[in-house]
Structure 1
């Protein structure tokens, strides 16, 4: 059987993903873990040795992704348990800027109270 193999650098270019992203797709502890992503083949006996992927398995994975994108949205039970997009909350204070974050409630309170703000003069 004639199997074509592709190494990490070529796979990264082919999929337009960084190498660390590809490793994340294979790591069950990662937020970006994809259980359908093909596993590499060890080219040496060393655990940290060279690895490669079958092009046929990468093409099958791409086809699976294309089919999944055409199906209706998945139920919440099959979603990634690490996906917190629905639970995202704005922190009460911006830690990077050290400035308070203005919430929608604050804006609504100012609008209903009739408070006006003046633009600073420069």
Structure 2
């Protein structure tokens, strides 16, 4: 009888442990299902965020290209203006030189007129 009682006690103890293990497995399985549901919810959000990021990166690349083109245009315009300014200064120097030459010629003419 004592052996039978010990066997029954061992069986009850084993059944209790199996019950606890089953409860733990059910808890783990519920947590896994919950995690899978969260992942299913997060994946579309992640995909949407990734698409938004890709679109933003494409927009930035387009803006960079636009900025580079505008900078080149401004640089070309500045070079053109600098060339125009140099040409204007050259013309102004030529004009000043011709004014000086004209004044000198006028003085010579006046000197010749006085001699005559």
Query: TM exceeds 0.5?
Result: no
Question: TM-score, length-normalised on structure 2?
Answer: 0.21
More helix by share: 2
Q: Rg larger in 1 or in 2?
A: 2
More strand by share: 1
Question: TM-score, length-normalised on structure 1?
Answer: 0.20
